[in-house]
Amino acid sequence: MPELPEVETIARGLASRVTGDIIESVWLGEKPEPLKSAASEIVATLEKRRIAGVRRVGKHIVFDLVRNGTPDAMASETKRKDKRSANVRIDGSRSSRARLKVPSALSRKGASPSQAEWIVHLGMTGRMLVCRPEVEIEKHTHAIVTLASGRELRFVDPRRFGRLSVSPAFIAAGLEPLDIELQPFTGLFRGRKTPIKSALLNQKLLSGVGNIYADESLFRAGVRPRRRAASLTREDLKRLYVNLKEVLKEAIALGGSSVADYVDADGEEGFFQLQHRVYGREGEPCLTCKTLIKRVVIAGRSSHYCPKCQK
DNA sequence: AATGAAACCTGACAGC
DNA sequence: TGCTGTCAGGTTTCAT
């Protein structure tokens, strides 16, 4: 569901609410699908850690975790030696609210690095909620993290395309659209025969651009989504570069786009959907020239464009 | 190597 | 009311 501006909004909301809090325990649902790392490793990495910060990397939410009372990461401590999975049991019964029990040896000092990261990808329908324990547990809740402040952090994801993982230091595959400079940006598309729309969605090139902002940036740049990436001129690429950054920044300023059911960490909707010029406007007049907006499918994704404004 | 289609899931909505 | 078909903001895997 969420793309870069939505994830940025959610990460900022989470940062303001849970930074400094301490993770007491972790419950993981019975379905293994949302887990990219082993359940035992996630539990062992999260429990008893302090949340030093929350940030966005591409479309990922990254929780920076430090050992409680250890504000600074110990850079040398990056090697992980666990033999812990054997004793960890997953109890999926939501009603009993059973918690994973981690053997005490795992919490001993030195059992894991002092710095770690909890990575959350929301997929299409994932949400992260911060709430009181008495709040009813929604259907499709796959993880509940109990905080020392008495609140809970809950991961809810009906379609289960979201993923949870842990890592010593997560690195996105692609480059950050908001940080990249013009030269590396143009270099990403050199020699690529794939449609520019597909290239923009390729997370190994740029991380964070999704279907809405790909369509919106291409409209602003006046480039048709089916154009071969390599066919874009220097001027096309410059306009795409400028407009992609612009549309992402504007969307972040408005709290992202709420098309279906996206809400941020505080349950607030974004407002950028009101600024969409092509996305979701098939058959409606172009805001610039009144030509009807077309929708085609490119690499399996809906793509919206103005046949007159985009060449 | 690179490209596209299919698969992974559930829910909402339109049309009959 | 309820059935069927379509669509969805993402990523990975498989075939070509």
Examine the pLDDT at A41 and tell me if it is beyond 80: yes
The 10s digit of each residue's pLDDT in A282-299 is 999 999 999 999 999 998
Name all contacts of A224-227 with Cβ < 8 Å and 24+ positions apart: A224/A305, A224/A310, A224/A311, A225/A195, A225/A196, A225/A197, A225/A296, A225/A298, A225/A303, A225/A305, A225/A310, A226/A195, A226/A196, A226/A197, A226/A296, A226/A298, A226/A303, A227/A195, A227/A196
Nucleotides of C under 7 A from a protein CB: 7-12
Measuring from the CA of residue A123 to each C1' atom, give the nucleotide at the shortest distance.
Answer: C10
Measuring from the CA of residue A299 to each C1' atom, give the nucleotide at the shortest distance.
Answer: B4
Cβ–Cβ < 8 Å for A234, A240:
no
Q: Rounded mean pLDDT of chain A?
A: 84
CA A298 – C1' C5 distance (Å)? 21
Domain boundaries, chain A: 4-167, 182-305
Task: Verify if strand B has an atom below 7 Å from the CB of A123.
Answer: no
Domain A182-305 adopts which CATH fold?
Helicase, Ruva Protein; domain 3 (1.10.8)
The 10s digit of each residue's pLDDT in A77-101 is 333 333 223 222 233 333 333 333 3
Same fold, A4-167 and A182-305: no
**Average confidence (pLDDT) over A20-49:** 88
CA pair distance A270, A26, nearest whole angstrom: 29
Please give the pLDDT value at position A73: 41
Examine the pLDDT at A102 and tell me if it is beyond 60: no
Examine the pLDDT at A267 and tell me if it is beyond 60: yes
CA dihedral of A115, A18, A146, A7, whole degrees rounded to 10: -90
DSSP conformation class of A189:
H
pTM: 0.86
For the sheet containing A115-121, what is the strand order?
A: A49-57, A60-67, A115-121, A163-167
- The class (CATH top level) of A4-167 is alpha beta
β-sheet bridge partners, residue A115: A66
Please give the pLDDT value at position A17: 92
The 10s digit of each residue's pLDDT in A186-216 is 999 999 999 999 999 999 999 999 999 999 9
β-sheet bridge partners, residue A50: A22, A66
